[in-house]
Structures are given as structure tokens and as C-alpha cells.
């Protein structure tokens, strides 16, 4: 009988995105082969989803995404104790902060296998160069104590290899694990617009994401305002620290009554058919689950050409791409699709048709099983840096 392995999944925020991929991947694993525990700093409905699937969830309040030296040191100490006592066979970390603290703790606890998933990177072109280079150096050091890397999207994997963060033979590309249901029809569209309280006769541009700097909600709002179209209604699905500020910005830009911030929702898949265009203004990303979900709903997508996004949003085929930080170009692309609904319909239909099996939970589960059980490539190298506080 195959040995049942104990796996600790370490995630800062068990929410959509990295948290969603982690939970869907764990659910896809054979429970006769794996016993999975989640260690998280915070979360939303995904905590209940993980628990309902039979996983233990431990919340460590000091495990936070923002830079906080005192909390980071406390979280590291807690993680070390937890991993030692738990006698885990595998520690699988996700994203930057949990990836740094979790890998250091696992290395200290002498866990047999350390796996890390890049859902994106903590460094990007909008940072000061010294800060960006510091993050790259930290990731290179952490790579020395990592046995296997998973990268969400080919471009993320290529960037990790190009920057020599991860050795080529230790990296494997994965999808975001989204299940596509039946294609939405006219009744689904009508129900979605009812749920979103869209006024009659409006074109709807919407997005799904956390209201924070990464997702560039200010660029989304400014792009809508630049349309200067009273027949366009904006929708932001999701919450975050910038919500109050963005609501004020929308009002200042003349969008009062024409933009809705609907907050966190558990029925996102039911809301997406109500959009005419899905827009993503992010400054940096990995491969966003929200884009794949929009494509599964046959929505036309306009997105910023960052990280792995162009791997699935193929310009002119499955969506339109614009540069990050250029809301005027995002606005132009939105106007084009609003004014050319046949083009928008073609892009949406093509996007749904081209979603492959590699983006399903079953495919992710198979990759995890292979990664967790494959022979180690080589012994870990000693980590060369002292403990440093890392960013989100």
C-alpha cells in the first residue's frame, strides 16, 4: 500500500487567487495518499470550504502579507514549532511572504520535501530598482532550500528561470484549476444583471479582484471615466483596503450611480454572465483565476499584458491586451469592444473554446501528486543569507 503523506500547505491569505488554487489542488489529491493541513494567516469562505473538504486549518494571526518585522519573527517561530510537532513529509508554500517564512521554517524543521508555488512575484516594474533587486536576491536565496517549484503560467516559470531564482530542472508549469460549467445563455445573463442591480439598457464593464495596489482599481475607474459614456455601468466584485478611497474616486470622476462596488461574493460564476466586457487593470499578476473564470463564461477580456496573462489572453484571438499603468489605452480597448459587440462575442467564444484540460483541478491534482512523490533532483544547497524580513 502506498504510504500516506502528510502535507502542510502554507498560505498567507486563504482567499481567491493563490488560496483558491491551493484549496482546489488539495481537493483533487487522493485522500488515501495524502493528509493535508492548511496553515494560513487569514481567509474568507475558503477556510470553510477547506474544512468542509476534511482538511485541518490552523490560523496564525502573525502570518501577514504586509512587512511587519515583529509579526514576521513571531510567525516564523510559530511555523517552526508547528512543522516540527506535526512531522510533515512535505511543506508546500504559496506566494511571497508565506513562501519565505514557510520555507525557512520547513528547512529548520528538516522537512523532507519543500515545494513552492509562484503565483506571481513580489517584484515588479513599478517598484524602485533597489527594492526590486533586493526581492530578487531574497528569492534566489530561498531557491537554494527549495526542492521543487510550481509556476502558475508559462511566463512566470520562464521569468523564474531567466532570473536564476529556480533551477530549470526543478520548475514545472501549472494552471489555475478552474472548472468550466455550461456556457451561459440569455437567462443567465438576465439573472446576473438582476443580481448586480444593473439599470436597463446599460453596457456593463466589470472585474473581480482585491481592492489593493496590485489590482490598480484607480486605473480601472479612470478608464471607465475616460469613456465619458452614460450608457456604461462599472462593476467591481471584491473587497480590500482601498475600497473607501476608490468609492470616493469613482464619485469624483463622475461615476456616481454608474459604478457598483459589490464586495466579496460567493456567486462570482453566476455574476460574470452579466458583463459585456471583463477588464483587468493589474500592475502585476501571475495568471489570475478571475480571467480564466471570465473566459469560461464566454466574456470578452481586456487585460494588462503582465506576467503570464498573455499566455491565455492572446491579443486579438481570446481578448485584448494593454500596457499596465495606461488607463487611457484600457479605455480605448473597452470602447472598441462596446462599440463592436460582434468582435466581443467572437473573442469570448474563442476564449472559452480554447480553455484546455491543463487548467482543470484534475490536471493540477495530477501534477501535485507527481511533484510530491518524484525523486529529489539533488540535495538542497545551504541557504546563504541570514533571516531577512520580506515583503508581500
Q: How far apart are CA 361 and CA 356, in angstroms?
A: 11
Looking at the structure, do residues 166 and 259 belong to the same domain, yes or no?
Answer: no
Flag whether 46 is in a domain: yes
74, 80, 83, 85 alpha-carbon torsion, rounded to 10°: -100
Q: How far apart are CA 277 and CA 267, in angstroms?
A: 18
Looking at the structure, do residues 139 and 196 belong to the same domain, yes or no?
Answer: no
Flag whether 330 is in a domain: yes
Looking at the structure, do residues 191 and 120 belong to the same domain, yes or no?
Answer: no
Looking at the structure, do residues 349 and 364 belong to the same domain, yes or no?
Answer: no
Name the strand (E) or helix (H) holding 100.
helix 96-108
- Reading the chain (392 residues) residue by residue, the pLDDT tens digits are 568 999 999 999 998 788 989 999 999 999 999 999 999 999 888 999 999 999 999 999 999 988 889 999 999 999 999 999 999 999 999 999 999 999 999 999 999 999 999 998 988 888 999 999 999 999 999 999 999 999 998 999 999 999 999 999 999 999 887 777 788 999 999 999 999 999 999 999 999 999 999 999 999 999 999 999 999 999 999 999 999 999 999 999 999 999 999 999 989 999 999 999 999 999 999 888 899 999 999 999 999 999 889 989 999 999 999 999 999 999 999 999 999 999 999 999 999 998 877 778 889 999 999 999 988 766 666 655 434 444 43
pLDDT value of position 269: 92
Looking at the structure, do residues 214 and 137 belong to the same domain, yes or no?
Answer: no
Looking at the structure, do residues 349 and 366 belong to the same domain, yes or no?
Answer: no
Looking at the structure, do residues 210 and 310 belong to the same domain, yes or no?
Answer: yes
Flag whether 285 is in a domain: yes
Flag whether 36 is in a domain: yes
Looking at the structure, do residues 170 and 235 belong to the same domain, yes or no?
Answer: no
pLDDT value of position 182: 83
CATH number for the domain that contains residue 193? 3.40.50.2000
Q: Which domain range does residue 136 map to?
A: 5-177+360-373
Q: Is the Cβ–Cβ distance between 39 and 11 less than 8 Å?
A: yes
Q: How many CB atoms lie within 10 A of CB 70?
A: 9
Among residues 261, 279, 278, 259, which one has the least CA distance to residue 330?
279
Q: How far apart are CA 211 and CA 356, in angstroms?
A: 29
| Degrees to nearest 5, angle at CA 117 with 113 and 123 | 130
pLDDT value of position 386: 37
Looking at the structure, do residues 82 and 222 belong to the same domain, yes or no?
Answer: no
Looking at the structure, do residues 25 and 128 belong to the same domain, yes or no?
Answer: yes
Flag whether 253 is in a domain: yes
Instruction: Report how far apart the first and last C-alpha atoms of the chain are (Å, whole number).
Output: 41
Looking at the structure, do residues 121 and 200 belong to the same domain, yes or no?
Answer: no
**Structural domains counted in the chain:** 2
pLDDT value of position 356: 76
pLDDT value of position 270: 95
- Sheet hosting strand 5-14, strand order edge to edge: 56-59, 34-43, 5-14, 90-94, 113-118, 148-152, 171-174
Looking at the structure, do residues 234 and 342 belong to the same domain, yes or no?
Answer: yes
Flag whether 195 is in a domain: yes
Flag whether 80 is in a domain: yes
Flag whether 380 is in a domain: no
Amino acid at each position: 500500500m502506498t504510504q500516506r503523506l502528510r502535507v502542510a500547505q502554507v498560505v498567507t491569505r486563504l482567499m481567491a487567487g493563490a488560496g483558491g488554487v491551493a484549496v482546489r489542488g488539495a481537493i483533487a489529491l487522493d485522500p488515501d495518499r495524502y493528509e493535508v493541513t492548511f496553515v494560513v494567516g487569514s481567509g474568507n469562505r475558503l477556510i470553510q470550504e477547506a474544512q468542509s473538504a476534511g482538511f485541518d486549518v490552523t490560523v496564525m494571526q502573525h502570518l501577514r502579507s504586509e512587512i511587519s518585522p515583529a509579526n514576521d519573527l513571531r510567525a516564523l517561530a510559530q511555523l517552526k514549532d508547528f512543522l516540527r510537532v506535526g512531522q510533515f513529509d512535505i511543506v508546500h508554500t504559496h506566494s511571497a511572504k508565506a513562501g519565505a517564512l514557510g520555507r525557512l521554517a520547513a528547512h529548520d524543521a528538516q522537512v523532507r520535501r519543500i515545494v513552492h508555488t509562484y503565483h506571481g512575484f513580489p517584484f515588479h516594474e513599478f517598484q524602485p530598482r533597489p527594492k526590486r533587486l533586493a526581492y530578487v536576491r531574497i528569492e534566489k536565496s530561498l531557491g537554494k532550500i527549495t526542492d521543487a517549484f510550481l509556476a502558475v503560467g508559462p511566463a512566470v516559470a520562464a521569468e523564474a528561470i531567466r532570473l536564476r531564482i529556480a533551477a530549470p530542472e526543478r520548475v514545472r508549469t501549472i494552471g489555475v484549476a478552474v472548472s468550466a460549467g455550461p456556457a451561459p445563455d440569455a437567462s443567465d445573463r438576465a439573472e446576473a444583471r438582476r443580481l448586480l442591480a444593473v439599470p436597463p439598457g446599460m453596457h456593463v464593464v466589470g472585474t473581480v479582484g482585491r481592492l489593493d495596489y496590485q489590482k490598480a482599481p484607480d486605473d480601472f475607474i479612470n478608464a471607465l471615466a475616460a469613456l465619458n459614456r452614460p450608457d456604461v455601468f462599472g462593476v467591481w466584485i471584491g473587497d480590500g483596503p482601498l475600497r473607501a478611497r476608490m468609492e470616493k474616486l469613482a464619485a469624483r470622476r463622475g461615476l456616481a450611480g454608474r459604478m457598483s462596488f459589490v464586495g466579496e461574493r460567493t456567486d462570482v460564476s453566476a455574476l460574470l454572465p452579466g458583463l459585456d466586457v471583463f477588464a483587468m487593470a493589474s500592475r502585476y499578476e501571475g495568471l489570475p483565476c478571475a480571467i480564466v473564470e471570465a473566459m469560461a463564461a464566454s466574456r470578452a477580456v481586456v487585460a494588462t499584458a503582465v506576467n503570464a496573462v498573455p499566455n491565455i489572453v492572446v491579443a486579438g484571438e481570446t481578448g485584448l491586451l494593454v500596457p499596465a499603468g495606461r488607463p487611457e489605452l484600457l479605455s480605448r480597448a473597452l470602447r472598441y469592444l462596446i462599440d463592436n459587440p460582434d468582435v466581443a462575442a467572437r473573442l469570448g467564444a474563442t476564449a472559452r473554446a480554447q480553455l484546455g484540460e491543463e487548467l482543470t483541478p484534475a490536471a493540477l491534482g495530477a501534477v501535485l501528486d507527481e511533484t510530491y512523490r518524484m525523486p529529489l533532483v539533488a540535495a538542497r544547497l545551504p541557504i546563504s543569507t541570514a533571516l531577512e524580513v520580506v515583503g508581500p
